[in-house]
Chain A
Amino acid sequence: MRRPRSWSTETRIKALLMAAAIGLTSLTVGTALTQGFLERVQEARILFDNTRSAAENLRADRTEVLLQTLAPSWREVSPGQSGEEIKSADGMVRRFSLDRTAILTALVYHQRYVLVVGLIGFLVAVELAVFLAYSLTRPMKILAWGCEQMRSGRWVRLPPLSRSPYELEALHEAFNEMVDNLQQWQDFQKEAARVERLAALGSVAAAVAHEVKNPLASMRIRLDLLRRGISPQDAEHLAVLGSEVDRLNQTVSQLLTYARPGTPLFGPVDPGEILTWTEQMTASSCRAANIRLLREVEADCPSLWGDAQQLKQVLLNLTLNAVSAQPGGGRVILRAFRHRNGIALSVTDEGTGIPAELLERIFDPFFTTRPEGTGLGLSIVHRIVGGHGGTVSVDTSPEGTTFTVILPATSAEQDKER
């Protein structure tokens, strides 16, 4: 954050409140002192007049006690100096002058608590100004920090404000909404770019697959014909050739499935049936990899709305991926359960998880970390689930990975849910 060059809010509020506090304190204390001073001067004059009247009737030697009552407001001056006169009955004259400093000293002493409390009040006002400024600038500081983070490409949400003015709360809420919208817009842009990229790739892949599939079929037939009447050693070579041709054929078929998945034939599908089919289809692979396959279907799990064949393909791909994620054996759990957005089908493995940096790319076609993989399994899953209006999510950790497919329930179930 750049340090602002002009005066801060705290300084401005402090200056404003301090000016107000100084002004009010000076005015109040000044008025009190001035008024008190004038009153005391007036009282002193009245006292002087009364004393002078009383002294005029007394002899000089009997005025001493009387004149002492003039102190400290009046002090006697030397004969040569100017002052107000008091003449005794026997004609003796003494001069007195008003001691304003003594009056002020007595007044300040009398008002000392007011003055100290005024000073304390001033300090309290300054400290309140500091906290007032703090309560205003804190949300702004957090907001500026949030903007700074966004500028650096880090998504942040600001914490809810408590005990702050509602205008600042509204500002924070607006910022958070802006962040949400921007995030949604960024996700949308990413998805749009991905769809565009995949569409182009799909078109090319379909064309290539179409051109490759026919020669491959022809090669397979010729290989079968060649198998008759050859030596056992050549037969072994032919078997290898045959398996490679089959693998190429499978890849091309997958590519075609991905590029032209076909129009789904929607209807009610029993999730339990899909899980059972998947279990049967992958039983031999699981046995070979020393993996225990578990199936959990929530009681009274409603049927979902989709194409049974395509959904079987989805579960099959996910389960085969789960099996290959645990080369040393383990467990794979297939689940079907109700979800607030429909019906969820999940496949959980106990592998080592997917590294965070690869997560964004796992649904891209031809992306694979296995040498023998085609990189199309998860792309097909993503495409089929998208075609069903569902979502597929991944939850991964070093203890394992769960793929969850959420699909719409049948209309009847949805009606029941409502």
Chain B
Amino acid sequence: MPVLLLQLCAFGAYTLALVFLAGQAFSWKEDRRLFYVGGNRLRPGPMVGTFVATWMSAASILGYTMWLYTDGYVAFTGSVNGWLIGLVLMPFLVRKLRVGRALSLPQWLGDTFEDPRLRVLSALSLLGAYTFYIVIQFRAFGTIVGALLDIKILLASSLVYLFVLYTTFGGLPSVAKSDVLNLAIITGGVALAALTLLNRAGSFSAVHEALRQTTPAMLHPWNQEWSPLVTLLMMLSWGLGVAANPQYAIRLLSARTARDAYTTLALSALIIGGIYVGLTIIGLASFVLLPGVSAASDELAFTDLVQSVLPPLPALGLFLAVLASAVSTANSQLLLAACSLCYDLSPREGRRRADLVAEDRFLFKNRLAIALIATVALFLSQLRLPGILLIGRYSWTVVAICFFLPLYVIRRPRRKELFFPLAAALLLHLFLTVVLGILPELALLPALALEGLLYFSPWRSLR
């Protein structure tokens, strides 16, 4: 069977599976709690599915693999290590988040500090950060499929756009169901590719041995381009960004019980670790088998590399894993962005209990917002914007500035006292990155320090 036909059949099969497994988009009995947080009734199975599938974005699979292929273990030190630190911090959030039964992180922030301005500011930041992050998913998948099938990127991105729309219309229950399928595809695709490459390269020890002989620098946790300090700072920033990321926090809120949330974190850590091991094997073994692949972008280089080092079937599995990761991350972020727009930025929606008719109207507005944000992201994905990792860095750091301090550091929230420090930190981050051109991860630390200083300073009463 021609490879092209095989690829098209695989995308068709994914479409059918998604349509059948994601369930009903408009459930018979739904309200905003069900739509945003699954009615706080998600069980560990779907929770693990949606947690891990959301965790593995296109940036993780593609960006990390290509960074590893280019620079070796410094990619692990600079990114995955930080992400795992973020994961380790998450159990501390569970009880804190579940006290107020909020439907969104901006609402939690506004309620905790009794400051509606805080809710609006963080919701605006989230809306912007997530819209750009969705752009990454659309662009990554669009570029890969565009190169695979030799079609226009817009057409390929439209495929993932429609997948994402379909799964997000049903709210978190639909996202969680589709994420179980996505997780199966991600783990299957990565495992198949990793095992095939291990088979071709001999073993993981053989890969290490080959690297030791040809390019030993790839085995060092930091390289000469970046000093250890810069690498560590970057790792720390990624960690803080992950730890405070609302898309994971909202999943902890959605669990049926705190115990289920802890179980989810434990099981997810195992699966995530396994997938990173698989990606590490893919990145390093690919380098050993075929060094020197380069292209105009990470996405194109990844496509060339995978097609060159893997037979058609495992390569297809890996491409499907990228598709599944793009869909699972984008639908989660799309839901949160729509929540920010329709719930947190609409003062009339507040906490009031609406009857079914008003609730139905509210949810319909959310669906319109989902379509709108996804369309804007699709449009932006066709523009010449910075690379995947850079957009990701901006998004994660803004999120970390908004939520890290209140989630992890501040023990006794003081009424209306966080708004000014948070706004100042966001402005400082913007100044450092845009005006001075400092990397967003590095700019995050002074911004967080300023936020903490202003909040905890003894002169705060002068404000």
Contacts and interface: CB of A to CB of B under 8 A. Distances in A.
Interface of A: 1, 3-4, 8, 10-11, 14, 18, 101, 104-105, 108-109, 112-113, 115-117, 119-120, 122-124, 126-127, 130, 133-134, 137-138, 141-142, 145, 158-159
B2 A108 contact: yes
Contacts of A10: 24-26
B149 interface: yes
Interface string B357-383: 100100000000000000000000000
B159 A108 contact: no
A18 B19 contact: yes
Interface in B1-59: 1-5, 8, 11-12, 15, 19, 24-26, 28-29
Given A104-B5, A116-B155, A159-B357, A3 B15 contact: no
Contact of B28 (A4, A112, A117, A159): A4
B150 interface: yes
Contact of A127 (B150, B151, B159, B162): B162
Contact of B166 (A105, A130, A158): A130
A3 B34 CA distance: 15
Given A4-B28, A8-B28, A112-B4, A158 B357 contact: yes
A1 B28 contact: yes
Contact of B26 (A3, A105, A124, A134): A134
A120 B28 contact: no
B19 A126 contact: yes
A112 B357 CA distance: 45
B149 A116 contact: yes
A19 B19 CA distance: 12
Contacts of B25: 10, 130, 134
A141 B360 contact: yes
Contacts of B8: 108, 112, 115-116, 119
B363 to A, nearest CB: 10
22 contacts: A1-B28, A8-B24, A10-B24, A101-B2, A104-B2, A105-B4, A108-B5, A109-B150, A112-B151, A116-B149, A116-B156, A119-B159, A120-B159, A120-B162, A123-B15, A127-B165, A127-B169, A130-B166, A137-B26, A137-B28, A158-B357, A159-B357
B174 to A, nearest CB: 10
Contacts, number: 88
Interface of A (DSSP majority class): helix
B356 interface: yes
A367 B72 CA distance: 90
A159 B29 CA distance: 18
Using C-beta atoms within 8 Å of the partner chain, give the interface range for chain B: 20 to 34
- Central interface residue in A123, A124, A159, by most chain B CB within 10 Å: A123
Nearest to A156: B355
Interface of B: 1-5, 8, 11-12, 15, 19, 24-26, 28-29, 149-151, 155-156, 158-159, 162-163, 165-166, 169, 355-357, 360
Q: What 10 A-B pairs are tightest by C-beta distance, nearest first?
A: A105-B2, A123-B162, A145-B356, A130-B25, A134-B26, A108-B5, A108-B4, A115-B8, A108-B2, A10-B24
Interface of B (DSSP majority class): helix
Given A3-B29, A105-B4, A105-B5, 12 more contacts: A8-B24, A10-B24, A112-B150, A116-B8, A119-B11, A119-B15, A127-B166, A130-B166, A134-B25, A134-B26, A137-B26, A145-B355
Contacts of A11: 24
Contacts of B19: 14, 18, 126
Contacts of A142: 356-357, 360
A133 to B, nearest CB: 7
Contacts of A8: 24, 28
Contacts of A4: 28
Nearest to B8: A115
A123 B163 contact: yes
Given A4-B28, A119-B15, A142-B357, A113 B151 contact: yes
A123 B158 CA distance: 10
A109 B24 CA distance: 35
Nearest to B170: A130
B428 to A, nearest CB: 43
A141 B169 CA distance: 18
A410 to B, nearest CB: 46
A109 B4 contact: yes
A289 B63 CA distance: 85
Contacts of B155: 113, 116-117, 120
A199 to B, nearest CB: 41
A126 B170 CA distance: 14
A141 B4 contact: no
Contacts of A126: 19, 166
A132 B11 CA distance: 25
